[in-house]
Amino acid sequence: MGDTLIKVEDLCKIYNPGENEVRALDHVNLEIKTGEFVAIIGQSGSGKSTFMNMLGCLDVPTSGKYYLNGTDVSTMKDNDLSVVRNKEIGFIFQGFNLIANLTALENVELPLIYRGIDRKTRRKLAVESLKKVGLEKRMDHKPNEMSGGQQQRVAIARAIAARPPVILADEPTGNLDSASSREIMEILKGMHRSGETLI
């Protein structure tokens, strides 16, 4: 295992502070090293999504510290957080979150545009990551021309194209049948074997 990539200290998230407060996260401590494959499990309402949102810099804690790659991101403002998200984290969502009128290739290229990567490099990275998930023959297809499993593979390719240090997968098989789910888990395991850090 590598260096500490994620360190969470006494993380709390309280909604509706006061009498009817909800403690979604109550003093969570966690360390994740580079190259780990970590599953966050628990029953519905136990704070998994809240925690994933914290780790993904989509939300900030009420109290506690979150160090990502050595940087304290728990006190950052929105603008700085979006820069961190863009650089450090690849997201894979349950709902795929693909853009309907873009091809697989264009969907994968989109975050690379935000990162200011030039067109030629962008294209190369997008093609490489689509090949990694076995979609080299479907690059010009739009989401509605693909199965759920294929759409999720496009989403994985989009998450890994810029080679971020952390891949956050929030119920990545939640919308898929069991065969597609197995396929997606195999892809994620393969990514882990090649050195990716997955949560």
Query: What average pLDDT does this structure show over 126-135?
Result: 95
Please tell me the predicted confidence (pLDDT) of residue 1.
62
Q: Is the pLDDT of residue 168 over 70?
A: yes
Q: Which two tokens stand for residue 101?
A: 């009128």
Q: Is 9 exposed, middle or buried (0-12, 13-18, 19+ CB in 10 A)?
A: middle
The region of weakest confidence among 120-124, 164-168, 172-176 is 172-176
Sheet with 71-72, strands from edge to edge, namely 22-33, 4-15, 63-68, 71-72
Which residues, including other chains, have CB under 8 Å from residue 170's CB and lie 6 or more apart? Answer: 49, 52, 91, 92, 93, 94
Residue-level length of the chain: 199
pLDDT in tens, 68-109: 999 999 989 988 998 898 889 999 988 888 999 999 999 999
Mean pLDDT of 53-81: 92
* pTM score of the predicted model: 0.87
